[in-house]
Amino acid sequence: MGVDLGRDVAFDPTLDELALLAESAGDTPVARIVARRKAPDAALFVGSGKADEIKLMVDALGAHTVLFDQAISPAQQRNLERHLGVPVADRTALILEIFAARAQSFEGKLQVELARLQYLATRLVRRWSHLERQSGGIGMRGGPGERQIELDRRMIDDRIKSIKERLKKVERQRSTQRRARARNGVFRVSLVGYTNAGKSTLFNALTKARTYAANQLFATLDTTTRSLYLEEAGTSVSLSDTVGFIRDLPHKLVEAFKATLQEAADADLLLHVVDAASPVLTEQMEEVERVLAEIGAQHIPQILVYNKLDLLEPTQRPRQLQDWLTRIGGEHGGQRLPRVFVSAAQGEGLDELRAMIASLMQAEPVPEYAGLALDEADGPAASGKPATADGDDGDGDALNDQDLTQARTVPQDDPQGRTG
Ligand SMILES: Nc1nc2c(ncn2[C@@H]2O[C@H](COP(=O)(O)OP(=O)(O)OP(=O)(O)O)[C@@H](O)[C@H]2O)c(=O)[nH]1
Ligand SMILES: [Mg+2]
């Protein structure tokens, strides 16, 4: 269920994402309803006619929940549940539910509980002010409702405090470990990116580990760190896989996951994994940048890793590439980001990525590099203009020659059609 308030142009992708969230929570979406309104209705969020329509649909399809893409207030939720006769939840509640089901480590569980309590606490506050308004603000004082809420709030506050303290301890341990790695001179690389971009798949492909990767949102909640040997550099780096980002991630949730996200904030290099096949990749990349800024990681050097290349039609690749390279651009504090095109699932482009990490460890300033997709980009249908990061003529004049040799050690990267 989504309510189109008339300002969201990419509306279908957002409902797609809601459906994927529902599936990740173990539900099967049976219908989508879009309502068009200028503003949400105060009582029901949608109009009463629309609410009746939803009710009919719920009964006909035997739906057991109605999910809203936008945030609904506690009062709207109650009214809707009464009206529809089934539980009603919004996107944030759904994300919290997934997080709760997925958290495995002690730390992850603590973080999820903190996020849920904080969500609950804000709703209690709102419910309280709602009651207060109803009663003119004074009549309820000392009444049973208020006392109960006061009690609940105090319990929640105490619990929040105790979890925060325990999390602080975990954070201290983590930072000790991180400092130890830094002392040992280990170069720390972190995977970041939108949820479902393929971070864990890439992590597995690079380290040959078996981290849980699945077509689910937030398959990964805990941070895994492995050592990755880079032949090109003759040394190992530490590689961390971590929780994915999502649009409108509730601020409190980001805050709750600080300990986990700190792994990214302390990295020497970020691999920003992008689902190249996503119709909304620009929005997803912007969201990732926003979260990175929120955790203070926006200035860490980045490689843009365009993943799922195998899902793109070969004939689409050149145009899409040109598009990305010129438009999306990966402006990073005014600097262009190095980028590489891979298929983590099929193991394409990984050698280039490794070489790039190696050269970034050693070289300053960072080389620019436009990866393997250019093979296909040079097909007969293409303009014959391979896209480098600058959209220039493709002979890589943005790179200095040393970086070039280092970055291009791999045979399949020497495409038959590279017109330089
Ligand atoms: N076709 C294709 N699918 C891929 C590729 N890489 C990952 N996938 C699929 O994309 C889905 C998500 O992959 P994950 O590795 O779990 O993604 P993630 O970024 O770790 O996701 P979260 O942990 O949920 O944030 C899985 O179904 C993968 O099989 C790729 O290169 N090509
Ligand atoms: Mg993952």
- pLDDT tens digits for 120-162? 877 765 444 444 444 444 444 455 566 777 777 888 889 999 9
The ligand 1 atom at the shortest distance from the C-alpha of residue 273 is 19
pLDDT of residue 130: 46
Closest CA to 361 of 208, 239, 224: 239
218 lines ligand 1 (CB under 6 A): yes
pLDDT of residue 415: 38
Under 8 Å between Cβ of 51 and 80: yes
The ligand 1 atom at the shortest distance from the C-alpha of residue 212 is 16
- pLDDT surpassing 60 at residue 414: no
Within 10 A of 231 (CB to CB), how many other CB atoms are there?
11
List alpha helices for 324-413, DSSP H: 350-362, 374-377, 401-407
When pLDDT is cut at 50, 70 and 90, the band that residue 172 belongs to is confident
**Helix-, strand-, coil-residue percentages of the chain, each rounded to 5:** 45, 15, 40
User: CB under 8 Å to 233, separation ≥6 — which residues?
Assistant: 357, 358, 361, 362
pLDDT of residue 194: 92
Query: What pTM does this model have?
Result: 0.72
pLDDT > 70: what percent of the chain?
Answer: 68
List alpha helices for 31-105, DSSP H: 48-61, 74-84, 91-102
Under 8 Å between Cβ of 357 and 301: no
Q: To the nearest whole number, what is the mean pLDDT of the chain?
A: 74
CA of 91 from ligand 1 middle (Å) equals 21
CA of 197 from ligand 1 middle (Å) equals 5
Under 8 Å between Cβ of 339 and 369: yes
354 lines ligand 1 (CB under 6 A): no
CA of 157 from ligand 2 middle (Å) equals 31
Q: What is the 3-state secondary structure (H, E, C) of 279-320?
A: CCHHHHHHHHHHHHHHCCCCCCCEEEEEECHHHCCCCCHHHH
pLDDT digits (tens, 9 = 90+) for 223-255: 788 888 888 888 888 899 988 888 777 767 777
Closest CA to 223 of 268, 180, 265: 265
Under 8 Å between Cβ of 22 and 53: no
pLDDT of residue 204: 92
Residue 76 vs residues 84, 87, 134, 172, 252: alpha-carbon distances, Å: 12, 12, 15, 41, 22
Query: What mean pLDDT do residues 314-340 have?
Result: 57
242 lines ligand 1 (CB under 6 A): no
215 lines ligand 1 (CB under 6 A): yes
Structure-token match 């109960």, residue found: 148
- pLDDT surpassing 70 at residue 365: no
In a 10 Å sphere around its CB, with 0-12 CB exposed, 13-18 middle and 19+ buried, how is residue 208 labelled?
exposed
The ligand 1 atom at the shortest distance from the C-alpha of residue 342 is 31
Q: Lowest-pLDDT range, 124-128, 278-282, 342-346?
A: 124-128
pLDDT of residue 255: 74
Under 8 Å between Cβ of 67 and 100: no
Tokens (6 digits) for 21 = 């969230």
311 lines ligand 1 (CB under 6 A): yes
Identify which has the larger pLDDT, 399 or 320: 320
Nearest ligand atom owner, CA of 216: 1
